[in-house]
Amino acid sequence: MPVGVGAAMKSLAELQVLVVDDNAQMRFLLKELLRAGGVRFIYDAPTADAAIALMRVHEIDIVTVDWCMQPVDGIALANRLRRSPDSPNPYVSIVMISAHSERSRVEGARDAGVNGFLVKPISARLVFDRISAALNDNRPFVRSASYFGPDRRHAPVVSYMGPFRRETDKEQDALLLDAG
């Protein structure tokens, strides 16, 4: 089953997946689900630092990361991957996994720049659905003062007529009008 990775297409057997979770049983479960689905290159890390170290050695296509980890949680890891100058790949696909599905958690993950969110308990189908969606996510990356990651808007707003769509862009719009 081919899945999109950037402009290239890879089969599941060619994907390089990194599973990041401080719970050894959860890492084992995810790795077994991925293996059963045909993924051959699976790496795992119990901490954010270990994940970064692995990403410096391997060309990871997708990272699954648990929200609630110690000493650094999944949100902090996603922020580090997206925004830190020492990130091995700020464009890597990220799927956040959590036992909590509150809107604030999903929005927090989105605001950290993740491509997908998966709520526990997990199943093989849900894991592969989220991985496929994340890898086929063709939203452009957006950089602002407080965010870097895939455009948080999933659908274009066809009724929008102006040059900018963010509140903070109004200042920039006013400057352009004054200059003109």
Looking at residue 82, which CATH number applies to its domain? Answer: 3.40.50.2300
Checking if the pLDDT of 56 tops 60, the result is yes
Phi-psi category of 163—alpha, beta or left, where left has phi over 0 and alpha has psi -120 to 50?
A: alpha
Percent of the chain residues past pLDDT 70, beyond the cut = 81
pLDDT of residue 178: 44
Count of domains observed in the chain: 1
Amino acid type, 20: V
Specify the pLDDT at position 156.
Answer: 58
Whether 176 is in a domain gets the answer no
pTM, full prediction: 0.80
Average pLDDT, stretch 17-26? Answer: 97
In this prediction, residue 6 has a pLDDT band, given cuts at 50, 70 and 90, of very low
- Asked if residue 175 belongs to a domain, the reply is no
Dist CA 178 CA 180 (whole Å): 6
What's the confidence (pLDDT) of residue 144? 85
| Residue 56 maps to a domain | yes
Domain membership of residue 120 as a residue range = 2-138
Asked whether the predicted pLDDT for residue 173 surpasses 90, the reply is no
Note every long-range contact of 84-90, with CB atoms under 8 Å and residues 24 or more positions apart, other chains counting.
86/52, 87/52, 88/52, 88/55, 88/56, 88/60, 89/55, 89/59, 89/60, 90/148
pLDDT of residue 164: 59
